[in-house]
């Protein structure tokens, strides 16, 4: 089984919010360690494809903002992705916590996004073949991430396009 994390460290992590780390535990279990807001309720969500997310736990952090959760089903999946969403913002959407300068795009099978074809200034920053050819796309100056996502979603070239979440490594 593989656990994937697409971390995009920021020059300054101040105010970026939640940190979610995954560690291996004895017996093949995975532990998720969340550091967030004190006494805040969070949904821990899991996905095998970065498109369909399932709530696997809803918990409240301690007074220090810490929460540890063991995923008992982690061993049943070849790969699994995790995210934490505040309970009062279940959609996980909006400006807060998303990088304004890049998006994630997964092209349809057999298509490539190596040549920017939707807007001048679009560039491919990274490609992850092991994740279904997932592309990290740079948002050009003068355009919002949401606008570029809409262009990709309506182009017929991609399975999905979505925001990139800001995370920090310390």
Tell me the pLDDT of the chain (170 aa) as tens digits: 444 444 333 333 344 467 888 888 777 678 888 888 887 878 788 888 888 888 787 777 888 888 888 887 787 888 888 888 776 643 443 444 567 788 888 888 888 776 555 667 888 888 888 888 888 888 888 888 878 888 888 888 888 888 776 554 44
Q: How many CB atoms lie within 10 A of CB 1?
A: 11
Q: Angle at Cα 169 formed by Cα 48 and Cα 44, nearest 5°?
A: 35
Q: What share of the chain is helix, strand, coil (3-state, %, to 5)?
A: 10, 45, 45
> What pTM does this model have?
0.47
How far apart, in whole angstroms, are the C-alpha atoms of residue 153 and residue 157?
8
Question: Residue 32 forms beta bridges with which residues?
Answer: 22, 69
Residue 110 tokens read as 């057999």
The pLDDT score that the predictor gives to residue 11 is 37
Task: Find the DSSP H helices in 36-163.
Answer: 145-155
How far apart, in whole angstroms, are the C-alpha atoms of residue 155 and residue 170?
38
Q: How many CB atoms lie within 10 A of CB 18?
A: 22
């Amino acid at each position: 089984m593989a656990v994937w994390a697409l971390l995009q460290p920021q020059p300054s992590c101040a105010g970026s919010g939640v940190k979610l780390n995954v560690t291996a535990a004895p017996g093949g279990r995975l532990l998720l360690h969340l550091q967030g807001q004190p006494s805040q309720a969070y949904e821990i969500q899991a996905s095998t494809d970065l498109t369909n997310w399932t709530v696997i736990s809803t918990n409240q952090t301690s007074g220090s903002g810490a929460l540890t959760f063991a995923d008992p089903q982690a061993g049943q999946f070849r790969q699994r992705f995790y995210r934490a969403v505040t309970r009062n913002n279940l959609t996980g959407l909006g400006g807060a916590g998303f990088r304004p300068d890049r998006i994630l795009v997964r092209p349809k099978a057999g298509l490539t996004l190596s040549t920017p074809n939707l807007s001048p200034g679009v560039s491919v920053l990274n490609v992850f073949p092991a994740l279904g050819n997932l592309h990290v796309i740079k948002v050009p100056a003068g355009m919002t991430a949401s606008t570029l996502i809409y262009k990709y979603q309506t182009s017929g070239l991609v399975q999905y396009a979505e925001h990139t979440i800001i995370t920090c490594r310390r």
